[in-house]
Amino acid sequence: MSFNIFIAEMIIIISIGLLLYFNGYSGLRKKPKIKEKQIKVACVGDSITYGFGIGNWPKNNYPKQLQKLLGKDYIVANFGVSGSCVGTFADLPYKRTKVYFNSLEYNPDILIFMLGSNDSKYQNWTSKEQFKEEYLMLLNSYKKEENLKIYLCTIAKAFFKEDNSIFTNYKIQPDMVDKIVGIIKEIAYENSYDLIDINELTKHNYQWFTDDNVHPNKDGALAIAKEVYHHIKTSE
């Protein structure tokens, strides 16, 4: 292989990598640099938290926009994993990802917890009882400190594809999304957790989603960030 061909191939690889990164497809993230006395906010979730498919991902994913709203007294970390689930028998349990262990090591002061969308897929769903049990087990694994402030988020609305009235893209079942939203509300009520109703926020705002009808665009991510910001600041 000539040197020129090698350089050309490297340029192509780097260009593809940058394209994936800046459009939220890479799964990469920067390790947060925590300054003394900053309040640590952990955004735990799936691809909606990570910012899958969002243009200019480094600036527009919702945790990054939340960071801008909260300001320098806070440090917001994105612990979203695309495709991840609450269920331990699902195709990608959040609890088995490296990001999960990183989120535990982060030892947050505030936990924004938004999981459940991928559990609505037919191959991942088991029962209300099992989902509820595993949701609480995952949530409780973060409660190392008594002063941890927890916010439970309902999952975002998923819109039907034009040619399919059963599934959305990625095999998410909207009727199961509604069921999971109800379970999350029940968990929040029974355990006195603050609830952030992202489903209610998004369900009448189709324009906040990318072309796949599942993942928020930059405006949707900003709307989520503003809603989370509002709850954090009103609880201070």
| Residue-wise pLDDT tens digits, 44-69 | 999 999 999 999 999 999 999 999 99
Q: CA 154, CA 160: separation in Å to the nearest integer? A: 19
**Residue pLDDT, tens place only, 140-169:** 999 987 899 999 999 999 886 555 554 567
**Structural domain for 165, as ranges:** 3-234
* DSSP symbol at 209: B
**Residue pLDDT, tens place only, 165-176:** 545 678 888 889
The CATH number linked to 130 is 3.40.50.1110
Q: CA 36, CA 180: separation in Å to the nearest integer? A: 38
Give the per-residue pLDDT at 9: 54
**Residue pLDDT, tens place only, 106-134:** 999 999 999 999 999 999 999 999 999 99
* 51 φ/ψ sector (left φ>0, alpha ψ -120 to 50, else beta): left
**What band does 25 get if pLDDT is binned at 50, 70 and 90?**
confident
Owner of token pair 């890479």: 26
Cβ atoms of 24 and 61 within 8 Å: the answer is yes
pLDDT at 182 over 90: yes
Give the per-residue pLDDT at 174: 84
113 forms bridges with which residues in the sheet? Answer: 44, 152
Q: Which helix (H) or strand (E) holds 70?
A: helix 62-70
| Backbone torsions φ then ψ of 208, nearest 5 degrees | -85, 5
**Average of per-residue pLDDT values in the chain:** 90
Q: In what order do the strands lie in the sheet with 194-196?
A: 74-80, 39-45, 110-114, 149-153, 194-196
pLDDT at 11 over 80: no
Where are the strands (E) in 7-161, listed by range? 39-45, 74-80, 110-114, 149-153
- Count of domains observed in the chain: 1
Q: CA 64, CA 47: separation in Å to the nearest integer? A: 14
Q: Is 143 exposed, middle or buried (0-12, 13-18, 19+ CB in 10 A)?
A: exposed
* Tokens coding 216: 């928020």
